[in-house]
Amino acid sequence: MKTIIGLGNPGKEYENTRHNAGRMAVGFLAQKNDLPEFVFDKKSNSLISKNKKVLLALPETFMNKSGFSAGKLYKTKKENKDLVVIHDDLDLPLGKIKISYGKNSGGHKGVESIMRALKTKNFYRIRIGVISSKNKPADILKFIIGKFKPVEEKEFKKVLKKTTEALEVFVNDSPERAMSEFN
């Protein structure tokens, strides 16, 4: 079974924010594939949806503590070929995704938390670009927890579809094919 974790922050105030790109991507995947409704799992402090092929998780911790949920959901192995973590990325332009395996966190606090909890960086990541210009904003925190502008929303909806297609290939075929087709 593949485990797919969508990073973000819980709560209404964070819905549709850039920092919740991973969480929104997992929700979109569940909706598009008619997966069971998300149910709260007390042990992992996550919302969970699963079928025979995949377990989707939305940590109910805040981003920087995502490792708690990941550590409860996914047992540490040297090679985590069945784990995918999806998150926002300020180094990628809006509309782009990048699939990687075994890379450093790139400064992403949620990914760092998962790496600490699992004691490895060997898992797949799908980074979703959330910045619409080449210049990073002066106030990164305000930008990242800000909502997409109407023009950005249209582009973000396209990237949600692309991310879902990549995940479907990942689950139904192979991670290598997903990387070759969508990177």
Residue with the bigger pLDDT between 150 and 6: it is 6
User: For residue 7, what is the domain's CATH number?
Assistant: 3.40.50.1470
Note down the domain range covering 175: 2-182
Active site residues: 19
Domain total in the chain: 1
CA distances from residue 112 to 16, 43, 106, 109, 121 in whole angstroms, order as listed: 23, 21, 9, 5, 9
Q: Give tens-digit pLDDT for 86-143.
A: 999 999 999 999 999 999 999 999 999 999 999 999 999 999 999 987 667 788 888 8
